[in-house]
Amino acid sequence: MNKNDLVIGISASGSTPYVIGGLEMCKKNKITTGCITCNQKTKIAENSDFPIEVIVGPEYVTGSSRMKAGTAQKMILNMISTTVMIKLGRIHDNKMIDMKLSNNKLYERALRILKTILDIETETAKKLIEEHKNIRTAIENFKK
């Protein structure tokens, strides 16, 4: 890790020792930190540059933090990662254009994205993917 990284500590209670230790180590190394916790005024929030405290109340099943707290934290992580992808320029309109085409599902998705963005037929999209190996480069190099 280096100063360009951001570490997000996750702890429903806000008191998980190894999360606190990780955030403290980041602070010592001048690495920006954040946290997601489901309690207020916690140790991980104290050790975070950007604390997120989402108060979901007690779990329906005592001791099962995966229900309310875990779901809330997962939703926040999804929002953060989606925002990061947008800010990094990996989205065109509302379509992910920087993905590894590692299986048939993603290959088919790439074809649909190219067909939509470039207004082309399937065969042309296939040729572009074959030639450029990714959506972004195919879009950047497309000539009608």
pLDDT digits 0-9 by tens, 14-43: 999 999 999 999 999 999 999 999 999 999
Tell me the domain boundaries of the chain: 6-87, 93-140
Structure confidence by residue, pLDDT tens digits, 39-72 = 999 999 999 999 999 999 988 888 777 789 999 9
Q: What is the pLDDT of residue 59?
A: 84
Q: Identify the H or E element spanning 7.
A: strand 6-11
Residues sharing a CB contact under 8 Å with residue 23, sequence separation 6 or more, in sequence order: 7, 9, 33, 35, 44, 47, 48
CA distances 59 to 12, 43, 47, Å, are 11, 21, 25
Q: What is the pLDDT of residue 64?
A: 78
Answer with the residue of higher pLDDT: 39 or 3: 39
Can you spell out the DSSP letters for 30-50?
A: T-EEEEEESSSS-HHHHT-SE
Contact predicate 38/70, CB 8 Å: no
Q: What is the pLDDT of residue 8?
A: 97
Give the largest Cα separation in the chain, rounded.
61
Structure confidence by residue, pLDDT tens digits, 69-127 = 999 999 999 999 999 999 999 999 899 999 899 999 999 999 999 999 999 999 999 99
Is 144 a residue whose pLDDT tops 80?
Answer: no
How are beta strands 91-92 and 95-96 bridged, if at all?
antiparallel
Q: What is the pLDDT of residue 95?
A: 93
Rounded CA separation 59/103 (Å) = 38
Fold of 6-87: Rossmann fold (3.40.50)
Strands (E), 18-112: 32-37, 50-53, 91-92, 95-96
